[in-house]
A and B are shown apart, each in its own frame.
Chain A
Amino acid sequence: MLPYLTDEFANPSGAHTMARRSRAAIEEARDLVAAELGFGPHDIVFTSGGTESDNLAIAGVVAATGGGVVCPATEHHAVLHPVEGHGGHVVGVTSDGAVDLDALSDALSEEVALVSVMLVNNESGVIADLGAVRSVMDERAPNAVLHTDAVQGVNWVDVAAAVAPADLVSLSGHKFGGPKGVGVLAVRPGTPLSAQTLGGGQEAERRSGTHNTGGIVALAHALVELGASRDTELSRLRSLRDRLADGLIDAIPDCSETVPRQGRAAGLLQLVIGGLESEALLVLLEKGDVMASAASSCASGAMDPSHVLAAMGVDRVAAAGSLRLSLGWCTEPWEIDQALEVIPSAVRQLRTPAMMGRR
């Protein structure tokens, strides 16, 4: 991406030689992304990231059709809030975090224009069966299109196969080694979608705004590299994750995984640790060089109680002890050893009362 942040600074929509070089780089990136996702080049809309892609999918379909929208309660807020904002229907999930297909079916009708189901949940790691969702839609909401937020999922599944049932797919560059501030909305031909950002008419009138050339080029190359290494990475990370999970559950009393490992992304681990507030745990983990997360961060940087665990029926007190550990391409075996040393000792420290005679 570096040349496009330095010498090749031209606006790709321009008419001169330099501009054409930038434009060519974007079109090459478009081909690469399309091939990875199983879409055509003209189906790819570059955006500023996953949140914009999700918003464009939902608001764009609603604007084009006037229909209703439905999503499960475990969606990322970038889907949940626009769905709620458009008066949509939020349906429940099972205690294992899977979409409750009966509840989904009940919420569907011919008036529904869009169903949004994330490919892999960013907290629980649950992989959605989009084919099953599609079957319910075909029966109950034949006019609806299927959107999937694949921001997390692209790392963990054969993405082209997994999103084959979907009409709209959101990606964000920073989740797979690309830069922040660039994303993709893939749109199947014939999907009703009205632009939400109006201006110069870039991206075939679907998303105006000067292209982030460097970001787009980097996103495409990161996606290609991800696809090439995914299979070997998944088996490597699965065994590291299993060792981490087994070791922690063994060393920490009252500690369990939130969902079964089968049907969960290989490098993701979400635990609930009893008698503990994970917000405090994160402070100690950071001092031990373990960078973890609890639920999802809100704008202030505070940890909000997890809406995903709440939707799965985990009570608030238990959810306050949730811990998310994510592994990735840069995770090394020694880091698992370190986590297995740091986390149990931090939990022991926090479970020991400090101030006697508390109210």
Chain B
Amino acid sequence: MSKILVAMSGGVDSSVAAARLVEEGHEVAGVTLKLWGGAQDSGCCSVSDVDDARRVAQQLDIDHYVFNYGDAFTEFVVDPYVRAHSEGLTPNPCVECNRHIKFDALLERGLRLGYDAIATGHHARRVDTPAGVRLARGADPAKDQSYVLYMLSAAQLERLRFPVGSLTKDAVRDEATRLGLRTADKPDSQDVCFITSSDGRRRFLGERIDLHPGELIDEAGDIVGTVDAVELVTIGQRKGLDLGGNAARSYAVAVDTPRRRVTVGPASSLLAERVELVDHSWTVSPVVGAIAAQTSAHGSPCPATLTDRGELLWSEPQRRVAPGQMVVFYDGDVVVGGATAA
């Protein structure tokens, strides 16, 4: 039996995570993180989400706390997200929240409070290998969240539990229904939690940075159209580029925010043989050689080689990774590390 603190968002996955730990006989407490937004916010950590988590904790007969990490969330997640967009990058705020909030601030606090481990409702598995504890893909391929957890070190994994990682999403919902939890039918969270679907990314960023209209140029340098806000364009994007009649086969292949220019080209121009990477993170120590690399949360892993400089060479040319996005390295189902595309 361990003392385990479960991060409960008020969603179905973390509800069932808590329930499974209770059933396994652990001493469990729940905590909901207040990260953003007020009572009316329909994104994450609204009062109603906290109420849902509290009610589930009550049904499971465990203690429940609320921790306010609003300042840290703004500093480490929201501000960098906004800054990245102003620089023409494509950030992943979920990764930064995991890196700085859940698996740094919360993990540290939980351990200081005397808990042996922190659990979350992520769809990922913590596996024991002869070499030690590793992070592996969740059992439900459609819900696997190992990508956004690539920054976890073996030392952190020792102190983490992912109780629903071995279940499919359907099995999680069935379990919640069986237990009569009010979160059983709650919809999955979508996209960036601090941006409400009604306001959208454009309005959120527009209230924080200046958005600039830009020119679309082709690869020969000729102006072929316009774009409303160059800060909102992501490499590989096809929608929202005003190209007159030529839109069908054109993609954003380069974004130059200072000059307010987006280069468009055919799909073939998006192909790249290598990815420059920065800010590497390794489960144990740097890996060199053959791995499988995944460039988006639910993308397919593709064979590649990591050089001793930490650069990624694709075995076959792949679509370019937008700067700011994460590239995660796998050995089979096991995460060995990851980095940010430069």
Binding site for B on A (CB under 8 A): 277, 279-280, 283-284, 298-305, 316, 349-350, 352-359
Are A300 and B112 in touch, CB under 8 angstroms?
no
Q: Which residues of chain B from 155 to 186 have any CB-CB distance to chain A below 8 Å in the complex?
A: 155-156, 159
| Residues from chain B with Cβ under 8 Å of A280 in the complex | 67, 109, 112-113
Q: Which of A300, A305, A355 contacts B156 (CB 8 A)?
A: A355
A355's nearest neighbour on chain B, judged by CB, is: B108
| B68–A279 CB distance below 8 A | yes
Chain B: CB-nearest residue to A279: B67
Contact A300 B45 (CB under 8 A): yes
What range describes how many residues of B lie at the interface?
20 to 34
Is B187 in the interface zone, CB < 8 Å from A?
no
Among listed B99-107, B206-214, B305-313, interface-contacting one:
B99-107
B245 interface residue, CB < 8 Å from A? no
Shortest CB-to-CB span from A109 to chain B, Å, is 33
In the assembled complex, the Cα of A316 lies from the Cα of B70 at a distance in Å of: 12
Q: Does B65 contact A (CB under 8 A)?
A: yes
- Give Cα A299–Cα B54 distance, bound, in whole angstroms: 13
CB distance from A180 to the nearest CB of B (A): 19
Task: Determine the chain B residues whose CB is within 8 A of the CB of A304 once the complex forms.
Answer: 68
Contact yes or no, A359 B66, CB < 8 A = no
Residue B6 at the A interface, CB < 8 A?
A: no
- The interface of chain B, by Cβ under 8 A from chain A, is 32, 34, 39, 45-47, 50, 54, 65-68, 70-71, 99-100, 104, 107-109, 111-114, 153, 155-156, 159
**A117 to B336 CA separation, bound complex (whole angstroms):** 60
Q: A277-B109, A283-B113, A354-B111 are in contact. Are A300 and B34 (CB under 8 A)?
A: yes
Contact of A300 among B50, B104, B114 (CB under 8 A): B50
List 17 additional A-B contacts (Cβ < 8 Å) besides A280-B67, A354-B111.
A284-B113, A298-B34, A300-B47, A300-B50, A302-B34, A302-B66, A303-B66, A349-B113, A349-B114, A350-B113, A353-B112, A354-B108, A355-B107, A355-B155, A355-B156, A357-B153, A359-B99
B50 engages A301 (CB within 8 Å) = yes
A264 to B82, CA, bound (A): 44
Give the complex CA separation of A49 and B113 in angstroms. Answer: 37
Q: CA–CA, A280 to B65, complex, Å?
A: 10
Given contacts A301-B66, A302-B66, contact A352 B112 (CB under 8 A): yes
Within 8 Å by CB of B71, from A305, A349, A350, A359, lies: A305
**B39: shortest Cβ distance to chain A, in Å?**
5
Q: A350 to B111: give the CA distance in the assembly, Å.
A: 9
Chain B residues near A284 (CB-CB < 8 A): 113-114
The 9 closest A-B pairs by CB, nearest first: A354-B111, A302-B34, A302-B68, A300-B50, A301-B66, A302-B66, A354-B112, A300-B47, A299-B47
CB neighbours (8 Å) of B100 from chain A are 359
Within 8 Å by CB of B39, from A299, A349, A353, lies A299
The residues of A that contact B156 with a CB separation of less than 8 Å are 355
* Chain A neighbourhood of B155, CB < 8 A: 355-357
Which of B65, B66, B71 contacts A316 (CB under 8 A)?
Answer: B71
Q: Which residues of A contact B159 (CB under 8 A)?
A: 355
Please name 20 pairs of A and B residues whose Cβ atoms are closer than 8 Å in the assembled complex, sorted by A.
A279-B67, A280-B67, A283-B65, A299-B39, A299-B47, A300-B32, A300-B39, A300-B45, A300-B66, A301-B54, A301-B66, A305-B68, A350-B112, A352-B112, A353-B112, A355-B155, A356-B155, A358-B104, A358-B108, A359-B100
Please give the distance in Å from B337's CB to the nearest CB on chain A. Answer: 15
For the complex, give the distance between the alpha carbons of A304 and B301 in Å.
Answer: 42
Q: Of all chain A residues, which has the CB nearest B54? A: A301
Known: A300-B47, A300-B50, A302-B34. A355 touches B111 (CB 8 A): yes
Nearest B-chain residue to A282, judged by Cβ: B65
Best-buried of A284, A298, A354, A358 by chain B (most CB within 10 Å): A354
Q: Which of B65, B104, B153 has the most CB of A within 10 A?
A: B65
**Whole-angstrom distance from the CB of B40 to the nearest CB of chain A?**
11
Cα A45 to Cα B99 with chains together (Å): 54
Smallest Cβ distance from B153 to chain A, in angstroms?
Answer: 8
Q: Which residue of A lies closest to B46 (CB)?
A: A300
Cα A117 to Cα B55 in complex, Å, equals: 38
Q: How far is the CA of A302 from the CA of B153 in the complex (A)?
A: 30
Q: Please indicate which of the listed interface residues A279, A301, A316, A359 has the most CB atoms of chain B within 10 Å of its own CB.
A: A301
Q: How far is the CB of A80 from chain B (nearest CB, A)?
A: 15
Which residue from chain A places its CB closest to the CB of B39 in the assembled complex? A299
- Chain A residue contacts of B68, Cβ below 8 A: 279, 302-305
Tell me the bound Cα distance from A301 to B45 in angstroms. 11
Which residues of chain B are within 8 angstroms of A300 by Cβ–Cβ distance? 32, 34, 39, 45-47, 50, 66
Q: Which residues of A contact B113 (CB under 8 A)?
A: 280, 283-284, 349-350
For B99, the chain A residues whose CB sits under 8 A away are 359
List of B residues within 8 angstroms of A356 by Cβ: 155
In the assembled complex, which residues on chain B have CB atoms less than 8 Å from the CB atom of A277? 109
- Give chain B nearest CB distance to A284 CB in angstroms: 6
Contacts of B65 in A (CB 8 A): 283
Which residue from chain A places its CB closest to the CB of B5 in the assembled complex? A283
- In the complex, which residues of chain B have a beta carbon less than 8 angstroms from the beta carbon of A303? 66, 68
List chain B residues, Cβ under 8 A from A283. Answer: 65, 113
Measured CA separation A149–B115 after assembly (Å)? 42
- CA gap between A308 and B58 in the complex, in Å: 32
* Closest B residue, CB atoms, query A357: B155
Q: Collect the chain A residues with CB atoms within 8 Å of residue B32's CB.
A: 300
CB contact under 8 A between A349 and B47, given known A300-B66, A359-B100 = no
**Chain B nearest CB, measured from A62 CB (Å):** 24
Contacts of B54 in A (CB 8 A): 301
Would A359 and B112 count as touching, CB distance under 8 A? no
Assess the B50–A349 pair: CB atoms within 8 A: no
Measured in the bound complex, the distance between the Cα atoms of B159 and A302 in whole Å is 25
Cα distance A144–B327 in the bound complex, in angstroms: 65
Q: How far is the CA of A300 from the CA of B32 in the complex (A)?
A: 10
Residues of B with C-beta under 8 A to A299: 39, 47
Contact A353 to B114, CB < 8 A, known contacts A302-B68, A303-B68, A359-B99: no
Closest to A280 in B: B109
Query: How many angstroms between the C-alpha atoms of A152 and B47 in the bound complex?
Result: 26
Nearest CB to that of A294 among chain B residues?
B68
Q: Across the two chains, which residue of chain B brings its CB closest to A295?
A: B68
Residues of B within 8 A of A349 (CB): 112-114
